Structure 1
Amino acid sequence: MTISDVATAERASSIRTSRPRHYAMTAPTFFAVEYAINPWMDTSVPVDTHVALGQWETLRQTYKELGHTVELVEPVTGLPDMVYAANGGLIVNDKAVAARFAYPQRAGESAAYAEWMTRHGYDVAETRHINEGQGDLLVVGAIILAGHGFRTQHQAHDEIAAIVEMPVVSLELVDPRFYHLDTALAVLDDTAIAFYPPAFTERSRTKLLELFPDAIEVTSADAYALGLNAVSDGRNVVLPAAATGFAEQLSDAGFRPIGVDLSELLKGGGSIKCCTLEVHP
């Protein structure tokens, strides 16, 4: 990096501002890979729940050290994927939508997260069509980017738009390794994103670049580490530690990357964002 590059990065960093966030998380107390519903899951590979708990706790403490509020949702026995809290629903614009899962193995998670939302004062809405929460529904400023192709059904997008009273931009996913939008796209602030172009149809790629002409495009190496399954507060970007190239791109763009190792939870097909349900205002 040249002196000019450093100066540019420092100027960009000075205008990046963090905002306190509100997250809900569920400890991986019962985490296991008991079935395979995405390409990352292999039931023949052992899972160390103790390691998973330690990595998850590091993520929780990272959020707290950054000044964010973290509330806990009680894990439920028999729901090994409940640690992936982002899939539990969508909370934005003072509205809450419960997830409707594609696979019966995860159906019980919807009730658990809906109960938590109800206890927090939300009148929880449901969709007729499949929606897998913030796995496929990412808030960017005043709009929602919504994925479809593997889990959330395209028809659910109109339902979501009507419930939360926000415009929804539909994006089609084409690579089964990136089965949720949050595995192929990261929201960095209200106007900035990063994404992996090969995970999308040409039409969706064009749409993203029209909306976000300065979007960061990550390499395959970082995408395959689920590097885009990241969480940003507008300045600090918590991302999988293995995504070193993406971390450099973030630094160059004025963000502060913070790597966290969630390799044990990656065995279930999830990482930082999957473990984090953001409670948007």
Structure 2
Amino acid sequence: MIYLMCPPEHFTVDYVINPWMDVETPVDRELALKQWDDLRRAVEDLGHVVHVLPAMPGLPDMVFAANGAFSVDGVVYGAKFRYPQRAAEADAHRAFYELAPDWRFVSPTQVNEGEGDFAYVPGRGLILAGYGFRTEPAAHAEAQEVLGRQVLSLRLVDPRFYHLDTALAVLDEHRITYYPGAFSESSQRLLASLFPDAVLADEADALAFALNLVSDGKNVLINADSVAYGEKLSAAGFRPVLVELGELKRGGGSIKCCINELRQAV
């Protein structure tokens, strides 16, 4: 698998755009860089390829590379950030794809935050898409047209789980994992109907950012605070790989937020 990451060279918390950010608590950037590099090496040790997007001054959240775009089969649906503090990140991601010949980049007209609110279930050709806090529902229809895949809209109702990737993740070709309490009742019913074999997380798992994970279908990278959730993954037949990422969680993100999957054309 191929991933895109961006080092936290300019990471700090000097504004608040989610419930996890606290400008009163200083960030240890050196520790953040070490933890990010440990995560990058963990990904590579599993046999995957990591491309590195250069960090840009003035964009402290650029380390959360998952939010910059969403791709399926070589087609890239670009991001359009809700908050002005992150707006310029979209241009940096666009430049990355436009410099590579294997991608077809499509600029969005609707507010969306990339893989933060889009997840792809490859065995079903289905895109799960979140809305309620960042991504606009109109972006779901736009993504469906751009990517040629069915999009299922899911409403997020708890501001602590402001992106889909804090409450749901794809584990393999067909299975997902999620925390039901992050979703509206109707969205919960949809998920339960479509994914009866899902690995369910509880509130404690979700609050530890356990669901902000990356899976290659067998190995699942989760943050080191998610030991109890790791046991659930093991019971479901997956291999949890724990990585310490506590300093970056100060920005409201964990493993998945730092990793954008590059889904090239087959």
Name the TM-score, length of structure 2 as normaliser: 0.97
| 1:66 corresponds to which of 39, 46, 49 | 46
| Equivalent residue in structure 2 for 1:89, among 69, 94, 104 | 69
Residue type of the alignment partner of 1:138: A
Match of residue 16 from structure 2:
36
> Which letter maps to 1:182?
D
Q: Secondary structure at the match of 2:171?
A: strand
- Structure 1 gap ranges (5+): 1-20
- C-alpha separation between the residues in 2 aligned to 1:246 and 1:221? 9
Per-residue deviation at 1:211? Answer: 1.1
Query: What amino acid is the match of 1:130?
Result: V
How much has 1:241 moved relative to structure 2?
1.0
Read off the aligned partner of 1:154 and give its amino acid letter: P
Of 115-124 and 130-139, the range deviating more from structure 2: 115-124
Which of 136, 156, 160 matches 1:153? 136
Structure 2 residue 115 is the aligned partner of structure 1 residue 134: yes
Partner of 2:155: 172
Code of the residue aligned with 2:12 in structure 1: it is A
User: Whole-Å Cα distance in 2 between the matches of residues 147 and 33 of structure 1?
Assistant: 25
SS at match of 2:88: helix
Contact 1:221–1:243 under 8 Å retained in 2: no
Identity of aligned residues (%): 49
Find the aligned partners of 1:209 and 1:72 in 2 and give their Cα distance.
Answer: 37
Q: Which amino acid aligns with 2:214?
A: V
Using the TM superposition, give the Cα deviation of residue 91 of structure 1 relative to its aligned residue in structure 2, in angstroms.
1.4
Local SS of the residue matching 2:153: strand
CA–CA separation in structure 1 for the residues paired with 2:244 and 2:230: 13
Shift of 1:120: 1.4
User: 2:106 and 2:176 mapped to 1: Cα distance?
Assistant: 28
What CA RMSD, in Å, does the superposition of the two structures yield over aligned residues? 0.7
State the distance in 2 between where 1:184 and 1:123 align: 29
Matched, 1:113 2:93: yes
Query: Which residue is equivalent to 2:239?
Result: 256
Structure 2 matches for 1:1-281, cutoff 5 A?
21-121=1-101, 122-141=103-122, 142-281=125-264
Alpha-carbon distance between aligned partners in 2 of 1:120 and 1:176, rounded to the nearest angstrom: 36
Deviation at 1:228, TM superposition (A): 0.2
Unaligned runs of 5+ residues in structure 2 are none
Q: Is the 8 A contact 2:74 2:104 kept in 1?
A: no
Deviations 1:189-239 (A, max 9, x none): 111111011100010011111111011111111110111000000000000
Q: Which has the larger radius of gyration?
A: 1
What is the identity, as a one-letter code, of the residue corresponding to 2:106? Answer: A
Q: TM-score, normalised by structure 1?
A: 0.92
Secondary structure in structure 1 of the residue aligned to 2:143: helix
| 1:13 counterpart residue number | none
AA at the equivalent of 1:159: E
The whole-number CA distance in structure 1 between the counterparts of 2:66 and 2:198 is 23
Task: Report the counterpart of residue 6 of structure 1 in structure 2.
Answer: none
Equivalent AA in structure 2 for residue 123 of structure 1: R
Distance apart, 1:123 and its partner CA: 3.1
Instruction: Give the length in aligned residue pairs.
Output: 261
